A = this chain, B = another copy of it.
Amino acid sequence: MNNHRPIRTVFFVSDSTGITAETFGHSLLAQFPDTRFQQTRVPFVDDVPKAQDCAQQIQKVARETGQRPIVFSSLVNPESVATLREAHDSALFIDLFERFIEPLENELGQRSAHTIGRFHGVAESGDYKKRIEAINFAMTHDDGVSSASDLVKADVILVGVSRSGKTPTSLYLAMQFGVKSANYPLIPEDFERNKLPGELHEFRNKLFGLTISPDRLSLIRQERRPNSHYASLDNCRYEIDAAQKLMRRENIRWLDSTTKSIEEISATIMQTVRIETEF
């Protein structure tokens, strides 16, 4: 980390949680690795007085730092937007909605709802309930605690050796996509048989394997159980080799998670297992 990079202040302003604006803003700012960004979240700006407060906060930072803050706004209410824009001279104001709503209105032949925020009422929506159910499912079916009747309900069954990345991946699949994922750890008995555990056979089309480099696996396991046989490089080499042999033999689609983020792993799984969603 180069600490001599200049710092700029960024505001994420939203009438709801601001999480979408923040995530999107991060991906834009990632294009500018030579600058460090200090961020302030201003969520729940759902009336004009709050927009006024926020505009003052932005102007204050501009005065104090002598630099224009970068303001990402996903405010929908036109009055609030206008209020925030009053800070315009002292900030770079980036409206994440305005630009896209009009072409969509023209294309769909509809006016936009101009509802405040996308998360209002979300907690009651079927989509949201599906995500929470999927999180509970992942928590309950982590680490192979699954019966055949549970595996029927799973959208995906992740197989791989212990600590190959199954748990964070299944939680991400649940949280982002509402996908129910069960974990099925491959253990020495499976390797000795060099066969898939019997109960997995009928769920072949849901299986997805994760593998990892032995070095990385050993490091991760050392943190859990230092100086154990379980964490030793030799044992990690043996397990990974045996697991890959098994997955090849059984024709299971798999991915090396060593240098992949849970976002990358999950997007690949969604593409491979072909889970379609409508919203």
Contacts and interface: CB of A to CB of B under 8 A. Distances in A.
Interface stretch (A53-61, A80-88, A231-239, A258-266): A258-266
Given A41-B271, A167-B139, A23 B23 contact: yes
A1 to B, nearest CB: 7
Interface stretch (A168-176, A188-196, A203-211): A168-176
Contacts of A28: 97, 100-101, 104
Contact of A270 (B41, B92, B103): B41
B8 A123 contact: no
Interface in A31-70: 31-41, 43-44, 68, 70
Interface string A6-39: 0010000000111110011011111111111111
A89 interface: no
A31 B113 contact: yes
Contact of A267 (B17, B34, B266): B17
A99 B92 CA distance: 14
A166 to B, nearest CB: 12
A277 interface: yes
B104 A29 contact: yes
Number of copies: 2
A202 interface: no
A26 B177 CA distance: 12
Contacts of A17: 263-264, 266-267
A112 interface: yes
A149 interface: no
Nearest to A100: B28
Interface of A: 1, 8, 16-20, 23-24, 26-41, 43-44, 68, 70, 74, 76, 92, 94, 96-97, 99-101, 103-104, 107-108, 110, 112-115, 118-119, 122-124, 126, 128, 132, 135-136, 139, 142, 167-168, 171-172, 175-176, 259-264, 266-268, 270-271, 276-279
